[in-house]
A and B are shown apart, each in its own frame.
Chain A
Amino acid sequence: MKALVGVKWVLDFSVKVRLKSDGTGADLAGARMSMNPFDEIALEQAIRLKEAGAVDEIVVVSVGPRPAADILRRALAMGADRAVLVRSDAPVEPLGVAKALKSLVERDGAGLVLLGKQAIDDDNNQTGQMLAALLGWPQATYAAELAVEGNVATVTCESDDGLETVRLTLPAVVTADLRLNTPRHISLPNIMKAKNKPLEEIAPEALNVDLRPRLKVLRTDEPAKRRAGVMVASVDELLDKLRGEAKVI
């Protein structure tokens, strides 16, 4: 079975976003970019499934500008077999990405699509669900455990008050939550080996998808700043403030 993994090129999680002063959005010039952390988890899971014999080929896909190829090379070094960059220099939205992924699934075939639960830049949390709908496949989101046996995936998912397990008949889309696994480190020999793995660049038109956004971002602002508070010297002083000043206890 072939597994397809979607990876997004995003501002590194350890960097605080800088906004352009004219309200036109994030200033990413020179900023450290990396693979969306949830996608690394999704990819790690695909690699484990391959090691266990449930998957025989892993295709990683990113929809983004040319530098996004960096994370695809990283994915190849981690253990993916081949990579596809769907080239888009303008920002993309989940609906467009889902259409591109669907088109690749139809072109190349896949029994399982693994995505992250959310991209940490736009915080949309939509792409996996949209892709499942477009393909007419079942879905499991926020996966904390995943087991594949034959054409059945058993997925334990995070819910609002605990965990919920569902059984899906493949093909299906699964999105990864934080505690699905801990991604492996990439070794130097694997980085070298990855240089010979295929990385294809393709235009969205070749997939017959329209990536033009449906949402117009009118402006992007800083959030309201919290007023700086005070430091207290003792538990007694803290309780005084909470009772007298803040009146919250």
Chain B
Amino acid sequence: MSILVLADHAAGALQPSTARVVTAARQIGGDVVLLVAGQNCAAVAREASAIDGVARVLLADADALAHQLPEALAALIAELAPDYDAILGSSGLVAKRCLPRVAALLDVMQVSEIIAVVAPDTFRRPTYAGNAIETVQSTDSKRVLTVRTTAFAPAGAGASAPIETISPGPSGDTRSSFVGRSSTGSDRIELGSARRVVSGGRGLGSRESFDKLVYPLADKLQAAVGASRAAVDAGYVPSDCQVGQTGKVVAPELYLALGISGAIQHLAGMQDSKVIVAINKDPDAPIFSIADYGLAQDLFEAVPELIAKIG
């Protein structure tokens, strides 16, 4: 058995999600080969070669792979596919937009967001916003999977796998071109891999209150900032902060929900956190039914007090 894992990287650095996907790949069993594809990403390949359990790193470095656009990336992976029994990626958006394209090129049905490996062809995955867990068996000859990274521990980093430069495959698709990128809050702790997350909801009432209460508390706790959809829609924070069924899935050691009611779509993105704290002035808010510690109080009183009392 041979498994190809698409490495996640951004701004010249390997993302921590990759080591988690490697863990899922090792549970399936077989030789794990990492693919680092992009432009000027030799340093990423060196980082990737240190992940424990990786047999080889393939480096595809080409202009056509800049920005990891799905058309070129999928064509490259489909070209490599005959050598592999399974192709895995993370739950990051680069993998999510590319791997279904690969699966269709191979005439394979993808299994999305696996949370457990039951057997090499059988996986568990959440559906209905995490309110159902399916055990699914693939009947295709090859597997294409995305991995919910919060469900797998990262593999260690003490190895030094060989790096093999490969020809970058077909040239880029000129019908799709990159125009630009605007990234938000790059100096903040990354939400997906943060150990602590402070999230705010509509209860904050305004962008000013969000800025005045959520960010300072997050800074005190060295936490990432998250939000409900309502807070994003209201413009309190950019959309990459959204936690939930259709946003990011997080599972930190500590998740603090401030002024969030606890709709199923929000719970889907945070219910696997280790310790959940909710502050909401409505004692009947559904969020309290999954919180380890609930405080039914006005957040405009509770949060300033919290900020003041945390060392």
Contacts and interface: CB of A to CB of B under 8 A. Distances in A.
Contacts of B173: 138
Given A178-B246, A223-B132, A229-B294, A239 B310 contact: yes
B127 interface: yes
Interface stretch (A60-68, A103-111, A241-249): A241-249
Contact of B265 (A13, A38, A133, A162): A13
Contacts of B113: 123
Given A125-B100, A163-B181, A93 B295 contact: no
Contact of B108 (A165, A214, A218): A214
A248 B253 contact: yes
Given A17-B131, A122-B127, A215 B136 contact: yes
Interface string A212-249: 01111111111100111111111110110110001011
A139 interface: yes
Contact of B97 (A25, A141, A234, A246): A141
A248 B179 contact: no
Given A138-B175, A221-B132, A130 B138 contact: no
Contacts of B229: 178
Contacts of A202: none
A236 B264 contact: no
A26 B101 CA distance: 28
B92 A11 contact: no
Interface stretch (B26-34, B66-74, B160-168, B204-212): B66-74
Interface stretch (A71-79, A81-89, A153-161, A191-199): A153-161
Contacts of B238: 162
A142 interface: yes
B136 A125 contact: no
Contacts of A220: 127, 132-135
A132 interface: yes
Given A133-B101, A223-B130, A213 B109 contact: yes
User: Main secondary structure on chain B at its contact with chain A?
Assistant: mixed
B103 A164 contact: no
Given A125-B112, A154-B179, A168-B176, A160 B10 contact: yes
B100 A129 contact: yes
Contacts of A230: 292-294
A144 interface: yes
Nearest to A129: B100
A21 interface: no
B293 A232 contact: yes
Given A158-B93, A216-B139, A129 B292 contact: no
B131 A223 contact: yes
B253 to A, nearest CB: 5
Contacts of A158: 93, 239-240
B138 A169 contact: no
B216 to A, nearest CB: 15
A6 interface: no
B171 to A, nearest CB: 14
B1 to A, nearest CB: 19
B186 to A, nearest CB: 7
Given A123-B112, A214-B139, A216-B137, A179 B178 contact: no
Contacts of B305: 235
B135 A217 contact: yes
Interface stretch (B46-54, B57-65, B271-279): B271-279
A204 interface: no
A19 interface: yes
Given A123-B113, A216-B136, A248-B196, A138 B71 contact: yes
Given A124-B112, A159-B240, A164 B181 contact: yes
Contact of B126 (A11, A223, A241): A223
Contacts of B292: 226-227, 229-230, 246
Nearest to A170: B175
Contacts of B184: 161-162
A55 interface: no
B291 interface: yes
A246 to B, nearest CB: 5
A59 to B, nearest CB: 21
B181 A165 contact: yes
A120 interface: yes
B277 A238 contact: yes
B181 A95 contact: no
A3 interface: no
Contacts of A219: 134-135
A34 interface: no
A117 B246 contact: yes
A89 B71 CA distance: 33
A16 B292 CA distance: 22
Interface in B93-137: 93-94, 96-105, 107-113, 122, 126-137
10 contacts: A94-B100, A95-B110, A133-B100, A159-B240, A172-B176, A219-B135, A222-B133, A234-B297, A235-B302, A235-B305
